[in-house]
Amino acid sequence: MFEFEVLQDLKPNDEVLEIIKNYEYTVKKGKIKYLKSTNLQFIEPTEYSITFPIILTIYEYKVNEIANKPFSIKEHKQKYNLKEIKQILIKLKI
């Protein structure tokens, strides 16, 4: 049986929460897990699920400084940085 240990709980991004506060949404906190008796780490992304007025799922991954696009929109199947996510969410408000 696999045994995992949570190394770190990931907090939701305050800037994203500020933008989506006018929508109906839920947030699932991300985690960094360690598989015991190995040196493998697994990252569960922070998930922002917007349910009204549109259905949109945004994943935020904990990444290093080399990768500058830590966000992914499930429905678009693309990666984004924070500035692009803000622009997309602001356009959806209109």
Say how far apart CA 21 and CA 18 lie, in whole Å.
Answer: 5
Share of the chain above pLDDT 70, in %: 94
**Per-residue pLDDT, 27:** 96
Between CA 18 and CA 37 the distance in angstroms is 40
* Number of domains present in the structure of the chain: 1
pLDDT at position 90: 82
The range of the structural domain enclosing residue 52 comes to 4-93
Across the strands, what pairs with 47? 28, 59
pTM: 0.83
DSSP 5-54: EEEEEEPPPHHHHHHGGGSEEEEE-EEEEEETTS--EEEEPEEEEEEESS
pLDDT tens-place string over residues 53-70? 889 999 998 876 556 888
Please tell me the predicted confidence (pLDDT) of residue 48. Answer: 95
pLDDT of 24 strictly over 70: yes
Q: What per-residue confidence (pLDDT) applies to 28? A: 96
